Amino acid sequence: MLKAKIAVLVSGGGTNLQALIDAQKSGIIKSGEISLVISNKENAYALERAKQNGIDALFIKKDADFENNLISAIEDNNIDLIVLAGFLVILSAEFVRRYDKKIINIHPSLIPSFCGDGYYGLRVHEAALEKGVKLTGATTHFVNEITDGGEIIMQKAVEIKEGDTPEILQKRVMEEAEWVILPLSVEKVSEQITKER
Ligand code: GAR
């Protein structure tokens, strides 16, 4: 079976990328292969993680040619699936239409709560704590032209506890939800792509 070729787009630390790399090693991801990691931040630690694991790592500067350069990298590497793993750039409608049902995003809340423009990273957890919800979680979804608005693939709930800070909550959501459902979602969609061939 020819595996789906995966590009992971990142902007920061890359713990979700690490979860994907680990899942590939352990066999949770078996229908896809991480072929390329791309960051819009030159010093993103995620790029280091890629290199340490023998995966091609690319920095693409966020200038006027950003999306064209992104498309070139994706096409040159025959990428089948794009995974946004802590990628904090909003992609244009034109870009996402080009890769319909081929882009997955992970968001650190139970969509449709605490999502959309301006909700990223710690801000999502700050908003959940401000609202006083008792459950939050993470969501994987396909990317369309509406920020965090595409079809949901998987969700996992996480309990909010007395005394949580945004940082503590972020860590629990990552450990209990993000690092679990992102690899499972990537395998699910990769398997689908290989079957469609
Ligand atoms: C993760 O919590 C991810 O869900 C979030 O950014 C963090 C990146 O961490 N993404 C968003 O907020 C997207 N709207 P990582 O670089 O360690 O994977």
Rounded to whole angstroms, the Cα distance separating 42 from 84 reads 17
Q: By the 8 A CB rule, do 140 and 152 touch?
A: yes
136 lines ligand 1 (CB under 6 A): no
β-strands 152-159, 4-10 pairing: unpaired
Spot the catalytic one: 107, 125, 141, 172.
107
pLDDT at residue 108, rounded to an integer: 98
Rounded to the nearest 10 degrees, what angle do helices 179-196 and 15-26 cross at?
A: 60
The CATH number assigned to the domain holding 159 equals 3.40.50.170
pLDDT at residue 1, rounded to an integer: 83
Share of the chain above pLDDT 90, in %: 99
For residue 112, say if its preceding peptide bond is cis, omega within 30 degrees of 0.
yes
Q: What is the pLDDT of residues 143-166, one digit of tens each?
A: 999 999 999 999 999 999 999 999
pLDDT at residue 109, rounded to an integer: 98
Q: Has 141 been annotated as catalytic? A: no
The chain-wide mean pLDDT, for the chain, equals 98
The pTM assigned to this predicted structure is: 0.98
Rounded to whole angstroms, the Cα distance separating 79 from 190 reads 11
Tokens of 176: 């209990």
Count of domains for the chain:
1
- pLDDT average, residue stretch 63-67: 98
Q: What is the pLDDT of residues 90-127, one digit of tens each?
A: 999 999 999 999 999 999 999 999 999 999 999 999 99
Structural domain harbouring 40: 4-196
Residue 39: pLDDT over 90: yes
The set of residues, in sequence order, having a beta carbon less than 8 Å from that of 77 and lying 6+ positions away, is 5, 7, 35, 36, 56
Rounded to whole angstroms, the Cα distance separating 163 from 125 reads 13
Tokens of 151: 């079809």
Residue 5: pLDDT over 90: yes
Residue nearest to atom 3 of ligand 1 (CA): 86
